[in-house]
A and B are shown apart, each in its own frame.
Chain A
Amino acid sequence: MAKAKTKEKPVAKGELGWKEIEIGCFITEPGNSVEIRTGDWKSRRPVVDLNKCNKCTLCYFYCPEGCIAKNSDGYFEPDLFYCKGCGICATECPKDAIIMVEEAK
Chain B
Amino acid sequence: MAKREGLEVSVAVADAAMLSDVDVVSAYPITPQTHIVEHLAELVANGELNAAYIPVESEHSAMSACVGASAVGARTFTATAAQGLELMHEVLYVASAMRYPMVMTVANRALSAPISIWGDHSDAMAVRDTGWIQIFVENGQEAVDNVICGFRIGEDKRVLLPVMVHLDGFALTHVIEPIELPEKKDVERFLPPFKYPLPLDPEKPVTMGALGSPFIYTEVKWAQEINLEKAKDVVLESWQEFGKVFGRTYSPIEQYRTDGAKVLLLTMGSYSETAMVAVDKMRGDGKEIGLLKLRLWRPFPYEELRKAVKDIDVLIVLDRAVSFGGPGGPVCSEIKAALYAEEKRPQVIGFVGGLGGRDISMAGFEEMINRGIEIARTGSEREFEIYGVRE
Contacts and interface: CB of A to CB of B under 8 A. Distances in A.
A58 to B, nearest CB: 28
A74 interface: no
3 tightest Cβ-Cβ pairs between the two chains A and B: A27-B207, A24-B98, A18-B219
Contacts, number: 61
23 contacts: A1-B210, A1-B212, A16-B216, A16-B219, A17-B219, A18-B223, A21-B216, A22-B198, A23-B99, A23-B160, A23-B197, A23-B198, A24-B98, A24-B160, A24-B198, A24-B208, A25-B98, A26-B206, A28-B206, A30-B207, A40-B213, A41-B213, A41-B214
Contacts of B197: 23
A87 interface: no
Nearest to B217: A25
B198 A26 contact: yes
B324 interface: no
B389 interface: no
Interface of B: 97-100, 160, 197-198, 205-208, 210, 212-216, 219-220, 222-223, 226
Given A15-B215, A28-B198, A40-B214, A21 B205 contact: no
A65 B220 CA distance: 25
A57 interface: no
Centre residue among A23, A27, A37, A41 by max chain B CB count within 10 A: A23
Contacts of B97: 24-25
Q: Chain A, interface size: which category?
A: 20 to 34
Interface string A1-43: 1100000000000111111011111111010000011101100
A57 B226 CA distance: 49
Contacts of B206: 26-28
A25 to B, nearest CB: 5
Nearest to A38: B213
Chain B at the A interface: mostly helix, strand, loop or mixed?
Answer: loop
Chain A at the B interface: mostly helix, strand, loop or mixed?
Answer: loop
B216 A14 contact: yes
Nearest to B94: A24
A77 to B, nearest CB: 23
A64 to B, nearest CB: 15
Nearest to A20: B219
A27 to B, nearest CB: 4
B170 to A, nearest CB: 36
Contacts of B215: 14-15, 36-37, 40
Nearest to B222: A18
Contacts of B98: 24-26
Interface of A: 1-2, 14-19, 21-28, 30, 36-38, 40-41
Contact of B210 (A14, A18, A27, A37): A27
Nearest to A40: B215
A36 B207 CA distance: 15
A27 B208 CA distance: 7
Contacts of B216: 1-2, 14, 16, 21, 25
Nearest to A25: B220
Nearest to A14: B215
A18 to B, nearest CB: 4
A21 B219 contact: yes
B229 to A, nearest CB: 13
Contact of A18 (B205, B208, B226): B226
Contacts of B220: 1, 18, 21, 25
B28 to A, nearest CB: 25
B223 A19 contact: yes
A2 to B, nearest CB: 8
A47 B86 CA distance: 50
Given A18-B219, A18-B223, A25 B210 contact: yes
Nearest to B160: A23
Contacts of A15: 215
Contacts of B213: 36, 38, 40-41
A41 B207 CA distance: 23
A70 B222 CA distance: 40
A26 B198 CA distance: 9
A36 B210 CA distance: 13
B122 to A, nearest CB: 30
A25 B222 CA distance: 12
A14 B198 CA distance: 21
B223 A21 contact: yes
Contacts of B226: 18
